[in-house]
Amino acid sequence: MRTDKLNRNYNLESRNLLTRLDLFLLLSWLVVGMMLRFANLADKPASSIEIATLGFSLGHGFSQIPLNQLIAASTLLSPLQVDFTINAADVIDRLLAESTHPPLYFCLTHWWIKLFSDNGELVSLQVGRSLSAILGGLAIPAIFGLSWLAFRDRLTAHLTAILMAVSPYGIYLAQEARHYTLSILWIIASISCAIVAIEHIHNRRKLSWWICSIWILINGLGMATHYFFSLALALEGFVIVGFWFWQRSQKENQLRNQSSFNYWLPIIIAGLGTLAGCLVWLPVVSGISGNELTDWIATSYDLDEIWQPIPRMLAWLITMVVLLPIEGTTLGIKIASALIVLICLILTVPKLIKNGKLLLDNPKNLAMKLFMGYYLGAVILYLLLIYGYGKDVSLAARYHFAYFPIFLVILAAILARLWEQVENQKIVIIILVMGLLGSLTVVNNLGFQKSRSSNSLAEHIQTVTTIPSIVATTYETHSQLRELIALALAWETNPQSDRSITPQFLLVKRDRDHNPNLDKILSSQPKPLDLWAINLRTDKDYLSQINCIDDRNLRLDNSGYQNRLYHCTN
């Protein structure tokens, strides 16, 4: 009885402006979120795509690294060297020449690294990742604001902020030196403008031109950050058009619709301005689908693989809220973690679906309908990309940021309703606790691990190697080059590395016979020599024919690399 009274009082107060207590609580969620995002920030190995971000942000690119000749570690790491003579214009020129990404985040990272680095030094992973971590933390108050705008309910807004603070998926993105957290901020801001615009039309008020201008600016900045922001724009358009049809279907609005053009005019202008901002990037975007850097996400239509994108998308959705140790641990812990997550889903999902339907059935809850339309549209759009356009965006969790904040808002609205039901409050507690455990899983590198563990492989090479050595990998695209750079960086930044036995590196481009011509390179080197074949492709007996014997006892399992050690003699 007392709880019901408190909830009623809370809901009455929620119609008023935010209080100092709300601001204090929001600050608490922000502090927790920032602490999680900065925890162990530099401990994880650099991924290939992070090397790309850092190299392009420093304005160096990667085309200057030579092929088919021995490379010193200093040369291989030159794209990661801070150079104060390079400016943002150089960054943009290099990025457009060698990559497919828009330049805004790379320019921001360029200025950020310069702010916290010395000229000539090797870039720090801590510094490179910290900008993304801060932007990820700023998503906490941003999504609080979006939730407040949409529902005008304190409980829902706070729950949304908490979910963002402890989201395993959100922390995974924030601990990468990539542009996804900035894109999420633009999505939250753009959706906020859309919510304000729809509310104005619903209440028969004209949207101010300054909001319209800010909306266009936000959408332009979003496109200048990541081209997948266009998915969010498409989904916004879908929601707005759906609202237009819904509005026209209401009998009480049929007469009013004849004079509603003035209310829609600012939104039409915002749409045209956004379209113009998107068309600016059309010449660049048109070359992406056939670019070698995107070939790896091609959809497989084989019968044994064609169904896999759907469970993968479901898995990424779950990790936005729940995750337990499933990587870098024992099989028993993996099984236990999977069972706990499964039990959690069985206990919570039916209640979540039931109460979500009740919120949708409420004719006064327009915001819930808009957000659900956005999310369902995202599912359809992603399936069309996978099966219609042939790009399997389910292969990488990071590509699902376009609907991530909206899913959290939907979930928070449902949790707020559950909290008002005393018997269901335990479900809210379970989900929030599981979210916190999931965030700790990510920061301790027991979930969302890098596909290549360059740190462990570099340490393994150092432990094993006592004579001069060469680390060789087959070159196909810049991806293999960046993986080799990540390995060299792991060696260089390991305080226990023995610089006296630092290996030389080799990027091998195979000839017509599919052999790397290693004999010509190795013949000029003193023997004995250790050759580390890292994802090196050769014919079966090629290396043995040039007197390099495979040492099968010294491979490192579970590093993400195909690594073999060969002892080469005269």
| 342 occurs within a structural domain | yes
Determine the Cα–Cα distance for residues 407 and 317; give it in Å rounded to an integer. 8
What is residue 405's predicted lDDT score, i.e. its pLDDT?
97
Phi, psi angles (nearest 5°) of residue 506: -145, 125
Tell me, yes or no, whether 329 and 367 share the same domain: yes
| 112 occurs within a structural domain | no
| 19 occurs within a structural domain | yes
Residue that has been written with the tokens 């590196």 in this structure: 505
- Using DSSP's 3-state secondary structure scheme, residue 533 falls into strand
Report the first-to-last Cα separation within the chain, whole angstroms.
88
Tell me, yes or no, whether 311 and 391 share the same domain: yes
Determine the Cα–Cα distance for residues 62 and 70; give it in Å rounded to an integer. 16
- Using DSSP's 3-state secondary structure scheme, residue 471 falls into strand
C-beta atoms surrounding 558 within 10 Å: 10
**Could you tell me how far CA 391 lies from the centroid of its own chain?**
17
Cβ-based neighbours of 74, under 8 Å, separated by 6 or more = none
Tell me, yes or no, whether 320 and 361 share the same domain: yes
Bridge-based pairing of strands 504-508 and 469-474 is parallel
Which residue from 191, 202, 338, 331 is spatially nearest to 260, judged by alpha carbons?
Answer: 202
Q: Which domain holds residue 470?
A: 454-568
Tell me, yes or no, whether 437 and 463 share the same domain: no
Question: What residues in the chain have per-residue pLDDT under 70?
Answer: 1-17, 251-260, 285-296, 495-500, 510-516
C-beta atoms surrounding 524 within 10 Å: 7
Packed helices 366-383 and 404-419: angle between N→C axes, nearest 10 degrees: 140
Tell me, yes or no, whether 249 and 346 share the same domain: yes
* DSSP-derived secondary structure letter, 122: B
Tell me the residue ranges of DSSP E strands in 222-332.
Answer: none
| 543 occurs within a structural domain | yes
Our count of domains for the chain comes to: 2
Cα dist from 546 to 296, 522, 523, 532, 567, whole Å: 33, 9, 9, 15, 11
Tell me, yes or no, whether 438 and 458 share the same domain: no
End residue of a domain, out of 420, 443, 466: 443
User: 27-64 b/e with 16+ CB inside 10 Å = b?
Assistant: eebbebbbebbbbebeebbbbbbbbbbbbbbbbbbbee
Contact in structure between 409 and 143 (CB atoms under 8 Å) = yes
Tell me, yes or no, whether 155 and 35 share the same domain: yes
pTM score, whole prediction: 0.91
Tell me, yes or no, whether 541 and 420 share the same domain: no
Tell me, yes or no, whether 14 and 34 share the same domain: yes
Determine the Cα–Cα distance for residues 498 and 525; give it in Å rounded to an integer. 21
Tell me, yes or no, whether 433 and 475 share the same domain: no
* DSSP-derived secondary structure letter, 255: T
Determine the Cα–Cα distance for residues 484 and 472; give it in Å rounded to an integer. 9
Which residue from 73, 77, 80 is spatially nearest to 124, judged by alpha carbons?
Answer: 80
| 99 occurs within a structural domain | no
What is the sign, positive or negative, of the torsion defined by CA atoms of 341, 347, 353, 356?
negative
Tell me, yes or no, whether 169 and 315 share the same domain: yes
**Could you tell me how far CA 373 lies from the centroid of its own chain?**
23
| 299 occurs within a structural domain | no
End residue of a domain, out of 389, 410, 443: 443
End residue of a domain, out of 416, 443, 470: 443
Cβ-based neighbours of 83, under 8 Å, separated by 6 or more = 58, 59, 60, 119, 120
Tell me, yes or no, whether 379 and 510 share the same domain: no
DSSP assignment of 16-59: S---HHHHHHHHHHHHHHHHHHHTTTTTSPPPHHHHHHHHHHTT
Structure tokens, 259: 């004079």
Q: Do you know the residue count of the chain?
A: 570
